[in-house]
Amino acid sequence: MRPHPHLYEINTWPWLDGLSRRYGRHLTLGSVPNEQWDALRASGIDLVFLMGIWRRSPLGRQLARADPRCFPPYDQALPGWRVQDVVGSAYSIVGYDPDPRIGTLGELDLVRDKLHARDMQLIVDFIPNHVGFDHPWIGAHPDRFVTGSEDAFRRDPSAFRPVELGSGEVRFIACGRDPCFPPWADVAQLDYFNPDTRAAMLAELGVVARHADGARCDMAMLVLSEVFERTWGELVKTEPPATEFWAEAVAAVPGFVLLGEVYWGLEWRLQQLGFDFTYDKRLYDRLLNEPAESVRRHLRADPEYQRRSARFIENHDEPRSAVAFGSRAISAAVVMSTLPGLRFYYDGQFEGRRIRLPVQLGVEPSEPTDDRLSAFYRRLLATVDTPVFHSGLWRLCEVRPCNEGNDTSTSLAAWSWRRGDDDVRIVSVNLGPTVSQGSVDVIGALPVDGDLFVFEDLLDGNQYRWNRGQLADRGLYVRLTQGQAHIFSVRRQ
């Protein structure tokens, strides 16, 4: 896998639904036409993340179909939806084998082989924190779960589910949760202070690793000992294990790519434990809501942290970038695509889709392609697929005002990539709400020799000529309207 790889996430169930309708026949993973994988390779994708392939909980499906709180998002995404369109959450599962609608383990292996033949790798889900309430472990291994007393259940019935075991005993098993939000009613919380639970989950991860090249680990920070104790310490009285689960996981599946969904400033912690990449939600939030200086400060972090950060502007948990960023969607896409780290794209992003589909739905909405965004992404993907953006040296560039009284340069951010002496790219983006001007310090990125340089914008083809003296004295002049960006290649005249 090359440095700074490109990942493409597919919401597999509705994707197969859409493909089946387009090709006029029922498709599972094994029968997806080869041209689909060819198109991803042609776009420069290195890792294909098939989200939501595992066998879903029938009880979770029933809950998703019956909970009226779920209906408004269904209505918004899929007007006129039917009950059978609700297939249950992709994160409430009963086993690490594909759901029958998706295919079989043999078909999954076939997809992996097809991706390998195209120099791509396969990523799937690993869900460490919880399972569906009808998972076989509920009856066979109830001690693997966090449980409460009947009094605790009576005080907060939404936090537990009474489960009657074969002996007639009733256990009050805790619903999985993120401590910042209400419990998730469709999943049972695993007990990570129980050695048997940890051993069982390591075995499950081993199963996953036999059929894929890596895993996106759902809410990975929830099983850190400090987080688990803070969330469940009142119910789990045993001492924390001597080692972190993730340290054991990394050792158990060497060479297996681990991408962590992680928040709360714990990204570096998981990187230290061995994660190859961790979500960079902070960058997403700063691009969406904060000024450019906040983004520039973020990009001054340790280079190793940058290299292992997963940059994104949409995924299955976030609104579509065409909606969230609006007129700034192009500049946001240029940022995430030209920074060090994992560049994380979502199915439909390149076409400018605007509907975010809840993970409980299995039908792909019909949407027109945004031709302008689609053409932009074709140029962008071809640009960042070149070696300089993967094996080159990245450097943040300083931006200063180009004249007195004009402070719009504070809305600009810029950086360079350099591979050898002649392979140079300069990226500048306007992250502000108005037209912005500034001078970018690029002198350190230029080829050593030569006095006259041609800067060609790879996004629109325009060319500009600058001499070394001008660039040394005044910097590269940049003027960008809201949401626009330059990606310059630099060559000697």
C-alpha dist (Å) from residue 102 to 11, 270, 404, 426: 11, 31, 61, 43
Residues 260 and 362 in one domain: yes
Asked if residue 98 is part of any domain, the answer here is yes
Is there a single domain that holds both residue 276 and residue 397?
no
Residues 6+ apart with CB under 8 A from 397: 414, 415, 416, 426, 428, 440, 441, 442, 445
How many other C-beta atoms are found inside a 10 Å radius of the C-beta of residue 224? Answer: 21
Q: Which two tokens stand for residue 298?
A: 């973020």
Record the pTM: 0.96
Report pLDDT for 166. Answer: 83
Specify whether 236 is located in the same domain as 358.
yes
List helix spans (H) across 290-396.
Answer: 292-298, 303-307, 321-324, 329-338, 371-384, 388-391
- Same domain, yes or no: 320 and 457: no
* pLDDT tens readout for residues 317-352: 999 999 999 999 999 999 999 999 999 999 999 999
Residue 316 lies in a domain: yes
Alpha-carbon distance of 195 to 10, in angstroms, equals 34
Query: Residue 402: is its pLDDT beyond 90?
Result: no
Rounded CA-CA distance 355/477 in Å is: 38
What was the pLDDT predicted at 449? 87
Residues 357 and 439 in one domain: no
pLDDT (tens digit per residue) in 65-94: 999 999 999 999 999 999 999 999 999 999
Query: How does pLDDT run across 255-290, given as a tens digit for each residue?
Result: 999 999 999 999 999 999 999 999 999 999 999 999
Whole-angstrom Cα distance, residue 350 to residue 370? 9
| Residue after which a domain boundary falls, among 328, 359, 389 | 389
User: What is the rounded distance in angstroms from the CA atom of residue 321 to the CA atom of residue 329?
Assistant: 6
Same domain, 289 and 265: yes
Min mean pLDDT across 4-13, 39-48, 426-435, 446-455 is at 446-455
Q: What's CA 287's distance to the chain center, in Å?
A: 15
**Among the listed ranges 46-50, 63-67, 470-474, which one has the minimum average pLDDT value?**
470-474
Tell me if 216 is assigned to some domain: yes
Using CA atoms, how far apart are residues 83 and 444, in angstroms rounded to an integer?
60
Evaluate if residue 432 carries a pLDDT over 80: yes
The CA distance from 275 to 261, in Å, is 10
Which of 389, 409, 429 delimits the end of a domain?
389
For the record, the structure tokens of 448 come out as: 């050593």
Question: SS3 for 467?
Answer: strand
Given a cut of 90, whether residue 295 has pLDDT beyond it is yes
Q: At which residue do the structure tokens 């050792």 appear? A: 251
Cβ proximity of 446 and 403 under 8 Å: no
Check if the beta carbon of residue 171 is closer than 8 Å to that of residue 179.
no
pLDDT value at residue 238: 87
pLDDT in tens, 199-221: 999 999 999 999 999 999 999 99
- Asked if 246 and 277 sit in the same domain, the reply is yes
Does residue 375 sit in the same domain as residue 458?
Answer: no
Domain presence at residue 160: no
What is the pLDDT at residue 3?
97
Q: What is the DSSP letter of 386?
A: S
Q: How far is CA 305 from each of CA 134, 425, 483, rounded to the nearest angstrom?
A: 39, 22, 27
Note whether residue 168 is domain-resident: no
Q: What is the CATH number of the domain that holds 345?
A: 3.20.20.80
Q: What sign has the CA pseudo-torsion 15, 17, 23, 29?
A: positive
Residue 184 placed within a domain:
no
> Are 248 and 198 within 8 A, CB to CB?
yes
Give residue-wise pLDDT tens across range 2-34.
999 999 999 999 999 999 999 999 999 999 999
Mean pLDDT across the chain: 96
Residue 421 is predicted with a pLDDT of 87
Q: Could you tell me if 247 and 342 lie in one domain?
A: yes
Residues 240, 310, single domain; the answer is yes
Q: Which domain holds residue 218?
A: 6-132+192-389
pLDDT at 296: 96
Q: Is residue 145 part of a domain?
A: no
What CATH number is associated with residue 419?
Answer: 2.60.40.1180
In a domain, 153, yes or no: no
Residue 212 and residue 72 share a domain: yes
> 66 and 59 in contact (C-beta within 8 Å)?
no
Supply angle C-alpha 35, 41, 213, rounded to 5: 105
CB 447 within 8 A of CB 418: no
> What is the percent of the chain where pLDDT is above 70?
100
Residues 345 and 482 in one domain: no
Could you say which of 389, 422, 452 is where a domain stops? 389
